[in-house]
Amino acid sequence: MSKTQLFDLDGKIAFVSGASRGIGEAIAKLLAQQGAHVIVSSRKIDGCQHVADAIIADGGKATAIACHIGEMEQIHNAFAQIREQFGRLDILVNNAATNPQFCNVLDTDLSAFQKTVDVNIRGYFFMSIEAGKLMRENGGGSIINVASINGISPGVFQGIYSVTKAAVINMTKVFAKECAPFGIRCNALLPGLTDTKFASALVKNDAILNMALEQIPLKRVAAPSEMAGAVLYLASDASSYTTGVSLNVDGGYLS
Ligand SMILES: NC(=O)c1ccc[n+]([C@@H]2O[C@H](COP(=O)([O-])OP(=O)(O)OC[C@H]3O[C@@H](n4cnc5c(N)ncnc54)[C@H](OP(=O)(O)O)[C@@H]3O)[C@@H](O)[C@H]2O)c1
């Protein structure tokens, strides 16, 4: 009996934003382990190169490309490089996001609002458009949007961030419906509390952490690697009939 090939990504080109650390790094490493050539991306090239080097040292294929997804010009430049170097893209993981202000919604300032919308909504939207055009030319692909449980149940003092994550869940359905004719699937991952730099203010504060754990049936925070398996499923042929869904990976929080 032979093992399943459903999760193989041999010959695939995958772009992972926010891959220099945290959840994105874990995703980039797992996709590379499964055979994909991974484009490791974030704002700062050094962190990306570090992750790409680790993938290559492990026998995988990776390239580092810097891209601030809140800057339209940088999105266009990144995709110009992808076209030139690879001529195709099979998998896009929109993972990089921002949450600059932790406050009561009434205290939201305009610059934090604008930054959060520019990165978390406009960034995901136009990255998906650029990727979708390339995928359409090559017969299809898979887009995975890393949203959040906050997109369903807003996090305390995370107002505009939660609003943008709800938009990502809707955006996922829009691309799923309109890009299905081109063989492009689009799905969302909704992580629960995960131990990364992004969540350090919550995870490193005992009082906040204990309050959060009360609401998590599995009674622990996730490791970044625990998000990667779900992304592999959504990126690979194992999910060939799945599009437009939100997959909660949250220790039971939303159940
Ligand atoms: N951790 C959690 O508890 C949790 C829960 C739910 C959802 N999420 C979601 O999971 C995703 C990843 O978060 P994480 O916890 O892994 O965060 P993280 O450890 O802080 O990593 C964030 C990554 O994004 C990059 N980045 C930040 N702003 C960027 C921008 N404007 N353009 C391009 N890259 C950017 C960072 O690198 P540079 O500094 O080099 O740009 C880094 O690689 C986010 O979408 C977040 O909303 C996280």
Question: Active-site residue among 161, 233, 241, 253?
Answer: 161
Taking CB atoms and a 6 Å cutoff, what residues make up the pocket around ligand 1? 17-24, 42-44, 47, 67-70, 95-98, 119, 146, 148, 191, 193-194, 196-199
- Model confidence pLDDT, tens digit, residues 48-106: 999 999 999 999 999 999 999 999 999 999 999 999 999 999 999 999 999 999 999 99
- Please state, rounded to an integer, the average pLDDT across all residues of the chain: 98
- Between the CA of 198 and the centroid of ligand 1 the distance, in Å, is 6
Residue 201's pLDDT is: 86
3-state helix, strand, coil in the chain (%, to 5): 50, 15, 35
d(CA 169, CA 156) in angstroms, rounded, equals: 19
Instruction: Please report the domains of the chain, with CATH numbers, ordered by start residue.
Output: 3-247 (3.40.50.720)
Site to probe by mutation for ligand 1, drawn from 29, 30, 114, 194 as the one with most ligand atoms within 8 Å of Cβ, is 194
- Average pLDDT, stretch 156-167? 97
Site to probe by mutation for ligand 1, drawn from 16, 39, 42 as the one with most ligand atoms within 8 Å of Cβ, is 42
- Model confidence pLDDT, tens digit, residues 104-136: 999 999 999 999 999 999 999 999 999 999 999
- Model confidence pLDDT, tens digit, residues 15-29: 999 999 999 999 999
Question: Is residue 202 over pLDDT 90?
Answer: no
161 catalytic? Reply is yes
Q: What stretch of H or E contains 143?
A: strand 141-146
Q: Give 151's contacts (C-beta < 8 A, 6+ positions apart).
A: 162, 165, 166, 167, 168, 169, 188, 190, 246
Instruction: Give the residue among 173, 172, 180, 94 at the shortest CA–CA distance from 140.
Output: 180
- Average pLDDT, stretch 235-254? 98
Residue 170's pLDDT is: 99
Q: Read off the pTM.
A: 0.98
Instruction: Give the residue among 6, 11, 4, 40 at the shortest CA–CA distance from 24.
Output: 40
Residue 62's pLDDT is: 99
Instruction: Give the residue among 151, 148, 73, 157 at the shortest CA–CA distance from 112.
Output: 157
